[in-house]
Amino acid sequence: MKKKAILLLGVMMMMVPAASVSAEELEVQLIGGEDAAVGAASLDDVQLGEVYEIDGFARIEPLDFQYVDFFPQYVSGMNGVNDTEWDLRMESYDTKVLYFDGNDNYYYLNIDWINSGKNAEFAWFLVDITNKQKMPVNFMDEETTQVKVIFDDEYEYAGWVRQFNYDYDTERKSDWEEYGTFIRGAIRPDSAEEIDMMYTGHYVFGCTLPNAVMNGDEPLSMVITLGDSEITYNIRK
């Protein structure tokens, strides 16, 4: 009887269909974690390429600093559009992506180009932020993040922040181009995205500065308030 029972159980097991697993079930599922005290820090004179920890809040990695005269920004509702190819031939170009004004000027309709003008430039400080809190965080929230630039220990300029999502990177090419044109656009502030716990967000902290400030010799520093912490990057000592 034991042999028959074992055989019957084996047949029944073979008849049970295998459980199906959806793609969504294989993705990272956020449940939470034990609460941890959120720390505060004063990070003075942070350096490019270094990594800084704010306990229970964030990991900060300054990547690059430069001055830029303009940058692309996805318009509201269009961030995330990632068309990989387009045809520049006049009879078949895609008007949702490209506009031709008749004077050999082409414009991407899903991107705004933000220009600083002739009398100023943008201070452009790229930083990666890993969320170490136990919940998603919008680091673009004005209550969480503020930016200012201090010139000569006397003048203060209000700054701003933009977010990047590298999944939105766009490369466009025509049939006569060997290499495509790579576009990494910032996300408009009104379309900012939360960063899930232990994910990394990509940001630029910026400020519009007059040419005299940018080209001067006086001390120049960017001060970022992030939660209860203050981060200082010395553009010029």
Reported residue count of the chain is 237
Cβ–Cβ under 8 Å, residues 81 and 74: yes
Amino acid at site 169: D
Q: Give the model confidence (pLDDT) of 68-109 as tens digits.
A: 999 988 877 666 665 544 444 333 334 334 444 445 444 555
State residue 76's pLDDT score. 72
Question: Which of 53, 57, 80, 60 has the alpha carbon at shortest distance from 203?
Answer: 60
Amino acid at site 35: D
Q: Which two tokens stand for residue 168?
A: 């939105």
Q: What is the phi/psi pair of residue 167, to 5°?
A: -65, -15
| CA nearest neighbour of 67 among 120, 111, 118 | 120
Contact 125, 160 (CB under 8 A): no
Min mean pLDDT across 63-67, 79-83, 146-150 is at: 79-83
